[in-house]
Amino acid sequence: MSSWTLLTGYVTIAFLISLGGSYRVAQPAPLKVTPVRVAPVKVKISALGTYVPPRLLTNADLAKMVETSDEWIMQRIGIRERHVVDKGVATSDLAVEAAKKALAERGLTATDMEAIIVGTVTPDMLFPSTACLVQNKLGATGVWGFDLSAACSAFVYALQTGAQFVATGAHKKVMVIGADVMSSIIDYTDRSTCVIFGDGAGAVILEPAGQDEDFGLIDFIHEIDGAGGCSLYMPGGGSLHPSTHETVDKKMHFVHQDGGAVFKFAIRKMTEVCERILQRNGFTVSDLNLFIPHQANKRIITATADRLGLKPENIVINIDRYGNTTAGTIPLAMDTARQEGRLKKGDLVLLASVGAGFTVGATLLRWAY
């Protein structure tokens, strides 16, 4: 509207008022806006890379450090060996190696990524985030990211977090990494924990699935139960118990675990969320090609599988080779299944985890390549 038109209008109104007349300014009719629902983009895993440090810690090695044996560890937990880092090797170093493998598999560079999400409970330091260190070591200029802490459920939580950026159209390529150096927070005089954990990392790339592709992430269920926090935790080093000579002397910077409580909760909740996610998506256990659970304890895995009615050939177990690598277990198990020729394009796959917190997660997907 021109200045002349506005001026003319004001003069007209002033004239009407001077004559004692009344006037009304016409109000525009309300606009009818019909909300447009945009369907979320289907998200797929397009690449996978894993890494474990070369140094092995066997049951025989542990038997020299604590009162234990290969037979006891294999019977109770199902682990024969685990990989541990050398001094000076950090979580970001493992994460970078896994990320490089995923990028190479997809034929991409680090700068092709738009975000990096690192699931870990053993960051290099409290800050900056491990994602920042990974971004810098990869040379992923312009890529943003952050860490996610959910212990053994960190990978499945990070997977769904990254998927939302792709599903909404905000990003087209997101890297999700699960990595932990558990040997850095383990008391190797405590046989209840030192026999369980190892170090490792896995990375996946998330991208949009094609419109004609029936592959990708289907659904997820996540839960937390903070009442279980006292069953698996590391009390020292946070704002509640800052690092002091006393916290070190009391071994508060190591993992503390109530094994029995974790064992019972893990079996019950993994079974429950697996049954729920299958049912609400119209599947049965017989439809599954692979069940890839968090590798915490072989007895937890087999007990869960038995309750679900799964056949041994549909279960991926590699805890005997890697131990519990926390955020790294599920991508490592995915890679094991692939190397064994058991993970194929179009397979219906169920991921499941329980971790400290307690955290619980399940993801249903169709493998895309």
Domain boundaries, the chain: 43-208, 216-366
pLDDT in tens, 284-326: 999 999 999 999 999 999 999 999 999 999 999 999 999 999 9
Per-residue pLDDT averaged across 9-25, rounded? 45
pLDDT in tens, 330-345: 999 999 999 999 999 9
According to CATH, the topology of domain 216-366 is: Peroxisomal Thiolase; Chain A, domain 1 (3.40.47)
Question: For residue 324, which of 361, 362, 298 has the smallest C-alpha distance?
Answer: 298
Catalytic residue among 83, 132, 152, 194: 152
Per-residue model confidence (pLDDT) at position 40: 85
Per-residue model confidence (pLDDT) at position 11: 43
Annotation says 274 is catalytic: no
Catalytic residue among 59, 314, 318, 324: 324
Per-residue model confidence (pLDDT) at position 27: 61
Within this chain, domains 43-208 and 216-366 share the same CATH topology: yes
Give the pLDDT band of residue 4 (cuts 50, 70, 90): very low
Per-residue pLDDT averaged across 11-17, rounded? 43
pLDDT in tens, 82-138: 999 999 999 999 999 999 999 999 999 999 999 999 999 999 999 999 999 999 999
Task: Please check the confidence at residue 150 and state whether its pLDDT lies above 60.
Answer: yes
For the chain, the average pLDDT equals: 93
User: What's the 3-state SS for the chain?
Assistant: CCHHHHHHHHHHHHHHHHCCCCCCCCCCCCCCCCCCCCCCCCEEEEEEEEECCCCEEEHHHHHCCCCCCHHHHHHHCCCCEEECCCCCCCHHHHHHHHHHHHHHHHCCCHHHCCEEEEECCCCCCCCCCHHHHHHHHHCCCCCEEEEECCHHHHHHHHHHHHHHHHHCCCCCCEEEEEEEEHHHHCCCCCHHHHCCECEEEEEEEEEECCCCCCCEEEEEEEEECHHHHHHEECCCCCCCCCCCHHHHHCCCCCCEECHHHHHHHHHHHHHHHHHHHHHHCCCCHHHCCEEEECCCCHHHHHHHHHHHCCCHHHECCCHHHHCECHHHHHHHHHHHHHHCCCCCCCCEEEEEEEECCCEEEEEEEECCC
According to CATH, the topology of domain 43-208 is: Peroxisomal Thiolase; Chain A, domain 1 (3.40.47)
CA 58 from chain centre, in angstroms, equals 28
Annotation says 171 is catalytic: no
Catalytic residue among 294, 297, 314, 318: 294
User: Peptide bond preceding 128: is omega within 30 degrees of 0, i.e. cis?
Assistant: yes
Task: Please check the confidence at residue 14 and state whether its pLDDT lies above 90.
Answer: no
Could you give the maximum distance between any two Cα atoms of the chain, in Å? 107
Least confident of 2-16, 24-38, 321-335: 2-16
More confident residue, 20 or 221: 221
CA 33 from chain centre, in angstroms, equals 39
pLDDT in tens, 173-201: 999 999 999 999 999 999 999 999 999 99
Per-residue model confidence (pLDDT) at position 32: 62
pLDDT in tens, 40-90: 899 999 999 999 999 999 999 999 999 999 999 999 999 999 999 999 999
More confident residue, 22 or 188: 188
Give the pLDDT band of residue 38 (cuts 50, 70, 90): low
Per-residue model confidence (pLDDT) at position 8: 46
pLDDT in tens, 241-271: 999 999 999 999 999 999 999 999 999 999 9
Would strands 144-148 and 115-119 be described as parallel, antiparallel, or unpaired? parallel
Give the pLDDT band of residue 211 (cuts 50, 70, 90): confident
Per-residue model confidence (pLDDT) at position 13: 43
Per-residue model confidence (pLDDT) at position 37: 58
- Nearest-angstrom CA–CA distance, 252 and 17: 82
Annotation says 324 is catalytic: yes
Question: For residue 325, which of 51, 59, 74 has the smallest C-alpha distance?
Answer: 51
Per-residue pLDDT averaged across 277-284, rounded? 98
Look at phi and psi of residue 344 and say left if phi exceeds 0, alpha if psi is from -120 to 50, else beta: beta
Question: For residue 178, which of 164, 192, 158, 198 has the smallest C-alpha distance?
Answer: 158
Per-residue model confidence (pLDDT) at position 183: 98
